[in-house]
Chain A
Amino acid sequence: MENLQTGDRVRYVNGGTALTGTYITERDGMTVVKLDSGYNIGTSPEKIEFIGRPALQPPAGAGVVVQSRDLPELAIISTGGTIASRVDYRTGAVMSQFSASDILRAIPELGDIARYRDRQVASILSENMLPPLWQELARAIYEEIRHGVAGVIVTHGTDTMAYSAAAVRFMLKTPVPVVFVGSQRSADRPSSDNAMNALCSAAVATGDLGEVAVVMHATTNDDWCAVHRATRVRKMHTSRRDAFQSMGMAPLGYVDYPSLSVTLSDEAVRRGAEEPELHDALEERCALIHFYPGMPSSVLDAFEGCAGLVISGTGLGHVATAWIPRLREMIEDGTTVVMTSQCLHGRVCDRVYNTGRDLLAAGVIEGEDMLPEAALVKLMWVLGNESDPERVRVLMQTDLAGEIRWRSV
């Protein structure tokens, strides 16, 4: 029994039943078999008899995908987000597809929009993303831009896509669209949002945009994708297709589906407005903490020695009064502390209440209307490129990449 391999033909004998099927795996002491009817069942191993081991079938279906030379060239850079997948019905396994030809086979209409170069930077779940991977990603995108692609598509898990997009935006100046895309509903399902999101992102990547954006479903319908600015976008729902929303501003544009016509707002940076530049230094010793009532100031001890700290404070940008002495100490010891709000909507103003005024007096920097995550990534970048505390303060309160809006509307 212990020698069974995935794909072996087996017989399942239970009571008066004898059925044939395919051995899948052992899990928690039970054998998982895919019966010939297609159903999986779990059974005690002793009810399984080996029948035979079929010759391995070469993974077929690798048909040639012809890419049209007349179309613009895009780079697809994958980090692990699944834009296409394939189901092995023999075993029921779902496999992610990363190569350009695999993706084109799954979403053939992409071939009508552009031709593609593919590149894999990582193959991770996005909760396992790391700042060094952001840097690697920015470098890879920069190389692709230097290579002359008309645009870049980054496939990314949706959980931390907004962090990565913002990080790339701070590190990179780009003349071409850099589009982050993912899917909220798994790519194996016929209803997945992957194909529409991918097609819309390709339309944006070949279009007139000239900045880093996130392109995802705008509604629960398959009707529009929204184009979001990398530094103002947030995942606002755990599972819905339209989870991504522009915060404090309207989206940069929309893509109609299935026509794929792209409409950009006046505010969207246009293609060619920037020259390519890469400034990939990051100060990783930064943190983001979410304050709650009763949170002890001793929590801050864990952040001792941090170069930067973003606080997601209450309301207008507050923490408990008891925190202020400890924060003052940290700032005096060289930690940059930036205040943002857990309200997510609206601007920090520490000049209204005493607590706020005391925070300012202690040296806390008002993070304006920056999203806490964008502020964290920005702080890493600013501290990676600037050491003078006063310059850091000024930069944190300067709109570098669309992360600050000066008018709240």
Chain B
Amino acid sequence: MDYEKLGLKAGIEIHQQLDTAEKLFCRCPTALQDVSERTGEFYRYLRATESELGEIDRAAREEMKLVRKFCYYTYDTVCLVEHDEEPPAPMNPEALEVCLTIAKMLDMTPVEQVHTMRKLVIDGSNTSGFQRTALVALSGALPDGCRVETICLEEEAAQRVEDETFSLDRLGIPLIEITTAPCMHTPEAVQKVAGHIGMVLRSTGRVKRGLGTIRQDINVSIADGARVEIKGVQELDLIAEVVRREVERQVNLLAIRDTLRERGARVDHTVIDATSLFAGTASAILKKAKSILAVRLCGFAGLVGREIQPGRRLGSEMSDYAKKCGVGGIFHTDELPAYGVTAEEVARLREFVGAGEEDCVAIVAAGRERAGCAAEQVMIRAEMALSGVPEETRKMLEEGSTAYMRPLPGAARMYPETDVFVTAIDEPLWEGIAVPELLTDRAERFARDLGLDEALARQVAFSERLPLFEKAVAAGVRPTLAARTLLATCRELARDGVDVGRVSEDELLALFSAVEAGRAAKEAIPDLLTELARTAGGAGAPGERVDAAIEKMGPAVSQADVEAIVRRIVAEREAFAREKGMGALGPLMGVVMQELRGSVDGKVVSETLRRELKRLLS
């Protein structure tokens, strides 16, 4: 696709959890819990507040279509603030500092005074019914001339356990939201910018890592299309694909619109009760429904079933809207007969509602009230198809297609959080914020100064083990040894089922220093780590535990022992050695190392072996 010609404009919002000791507005830890650890449950109803115009925010109203009771799981790591039973504590200064650090790295301008707002969110993910959020800095720079518009500090929502049940451990973890301008014009550019911002965030060393700790929302529009916000893209690699698929969706919706207009299509606003038609149906869904309502979509035949995105049709969009009324979905004649509905029933339905060749009929089956609501939603979405692409908030499905969530929220759903004082960002505070080195710069530095190859340097710089690596190098450990052990060796052991995560940082450092002091061979590291993991949590200081592991895995072998073994092995294979000359070094090395079971550094062995060979050959 020619994205330039299509007028693609995309922006992103990145949400990143901060790795602070405490939550944003209470003193609870920012640790996630397993739901089985919950210490209690409670439930509440949420109700949207009337605004001055007598209007409820349109996104909030949409959520209210279903009267829902929300259940919350609580833990001993959660307090009354998350329960919405106590006013918030002052804003966590550590979180503000991290936020300002990121703002500074992005070359942004802080606001002089931070005002915390309440943003209405009544999907149940916030016990209060609002999310606390504050604008901290404005206008920053990104590569390729793109701009960051704002950075906000807000509280993370509770995570959904299932349906209307939420877990409160995540609620209140500090979260920053970085919003870019709609300055990207290709799917790849979006992914690149997201990658860059992610790198900046990780450069602070103070953001949470792992699945779900960073989420991207993507805003996409094309010329003549509409702004669509896609929520919750967790994997960086999928971003470009999500954009490509959204452009495809908008292009196809516009093509459908054009065809509909050519055909003079319209939506018949009479809802027809078709319950009696299906009295003897074999369709399980229709059979158990109290009410089956039909909507005639004049001129829509063939278009409702047309694919607009992999696995998604215009019919899926209508179905998403209908689901807001609590129905499971809809049927339409573009996809029937199917699902137990016979061709004969379809013909009868068409005749009953007076549908012509060019018309499509959609049916909803549910209780009377829900079916009525759903039929109305189908009509609303069908009307939107006549004018093109609706502005929407959508959620990502697997693979990168999307489904409708709710209308775009109105800008006017925020009001001040009066329980939190404003925070001034004065000159000394801003000047005192230290800007950490970017991970990309660090990788370059590692390659240049520490002699790591580029790939390894980058791997170390971006790894969660970076702080330990730096500690080890500062303690005099060879960078390559530290890097290979922390990245390659640990990963391989983990793959083989060794719980290396249980080996403490101090033990790793003690192990490195034992190797560097010649008390253990670097070849013995995997065995030693395995032993340390096996006995993890045991008594003794880290150094003692490492010594015990060395003792256990292989008693110390003296240089004299090594020389004796080497001499014996060379003598046993004298013919081979004489034939191959110094070329025998490699093969013999393997034999000696096997005998020593890694308890001696390979370098020592190879030097001894070389000496012995030379002596034999001279």
Closest to B133 in A: A39
Min CB gap B391→A, angstroms: 16
> How many residue pairs between the two chains, A and B, have CB atoms under 8 Å in the bound complex?
157
**Residues from 45 to 90 in B contacting A, C-beta threshold 8 Å:** 45-55, 60, 69, 80, 83-87
Residues of A within 8 A of B114 (CB): 41-42
Residues of B within 8 A of A187 (CB): 49
Q: Report whether A62 and B54 are in contact in the complex, using a CB–CB cutoff of 8 Å.
A: yes
Q: A44 and B43 in contact (CB under 8 A), knowing A17-B139, A106-B50?
A: no
B422 within 8 A of A: yes
Q: Report whether B414 and A239 are in contact in the complex, using a CB–CB cutoff of 8 Å.
A: no
Closest to B57 in A: A89
A293 within 8 A of B: no
Q: Report whether A61 and B43 are in contact in the complex, using a CB–CB cutoff of 8 Å.
A: no
From DSSP, what is the main secondary structure of chain A's interface residues? Answer: loop
Q: A39 and B84 in contact (CB under 8 A), knowing A61-B50, A61-B55?
A: no
Residues of A within 8 A of B109 (CB): 14-17
Segment at the A interface, from B119-127, B359-367, B488-496: B119-127
Segment at the B interface, from A208-216, A220-228, A334-342, A399-407: A220-228
Total contacting residues, chain B, CB less than 8 A: 53
Give Cα A219 to B117, complex, Å.
28
B128 within 8 A of A: yes
A236 within 8 A of B: no
**Residues from 162 to 194 in A contacting B, C-beta threshold 8 Å:** 185, 187-192
Per-position binary interface string of chain A over residues 385-399, scored 1 when its CB falls under 8 Å from any chain B CB and 0 otherwise: 000000000000000
Instruction: Point out the residue from B43, B51, B413 that lies within 8 Å of A221, measured CB to CB.
Output: B43
Give Cα A68 to B307, complex, Å.
51
Q: Report whether A188 and B415 are in contact in the complex, using a CB–CB cutoff of 8 Å.
A: yes
Per-position binary interface string of chain A over residues 10-21, scored 1 when its CB falls under 8 Å from any chain B CB and 0 otherwise: 000011110100
Q: Report whether B85 and A15 are in contact in the complex, using a CB–CB cutoff of 8 Å.
A: no
B112 within 8 A of A: yes
B348 within 8 A of A: no
A314 within 8 A of B: no
Q: A41 and B51 in contact (CB under 8 A), knowing A15-B139, A196-B45, A221-B42?
A: no
Q: Report whether B120 and A190 are in contact in the complex, using a CB–CB cutoff of 8 Å.
A: yes
B17 within 8 A of A: no
Instruction: Point out the residue from B48, B127, B413 that lies within 8 Å of A89, measured CB to CB.
Output: B413
Residues of A within 8 A of B69 (CB): 222
Q: Report whether A188 and B85 are in contact in the complex, using a CB–CB cutoff of 8 Å.
A: no
Most interface-central of A85, A105, A241 (chain B CB within 10 A): A241
B412 within 8 A of A: yes
A343 within 8 A of B: no
Give Cα A86 to B51, complex, Å.
6
B129 within 8 A of A: yes
Residues of A within 8 A of B60 (CB): 190
Q: Report whether A38 and B51 are in contact in the complex, using a CB–CB cutoff of 8 Å.
A: no
Instruction: Point out the residue from A40, A89, A241 that lies within 8 Å of B412, measured CB to CB.
Output: A89
Q: Report whether B48 and A190 are in contact in the complex, using a CB–CB cutoff of 8 Å.
A: yes
Closest to A14 in B: B109
Q: A14 and B138 in contact (CB under 8 A), knowing A89-B51, A190-B122, A191-B129?
A: yes
Q: Report whether B52 and A220 are in contact in the complex, using a CB–CB cutoff of 8 Å.
A: no
B113 within 8 A of A: yes
Q: Report whether B117 and A19 are in contact in the complex, using a CB–CB cutoff of 8 Å.
A: no
Q: Report whether B53 and A60 are in contact in the complex, using a CB–CB cutoff of 8 Å.
A: yes
Q: Report whether A89 and B52 are in contact in the complex, using a CB–CB cutoff of 8 Å.
A: yes
In the A-B complex, list the 9 residue pairs whose CB atoms are closest, starting with the nearest: A61-B54, A42-B113, A190-B129, A38-B414, A15-B109, A39-B135, A40-B115, A92-B415, A89-B412
Chain A positions within 8 Å of B, measured between CB atoms, are 14-17, 19, 30, 32, 35-44, 59-63, 85-90, 92-95, 105-106, 185, 187-192, 195-196, 219-223, 238-241, 258
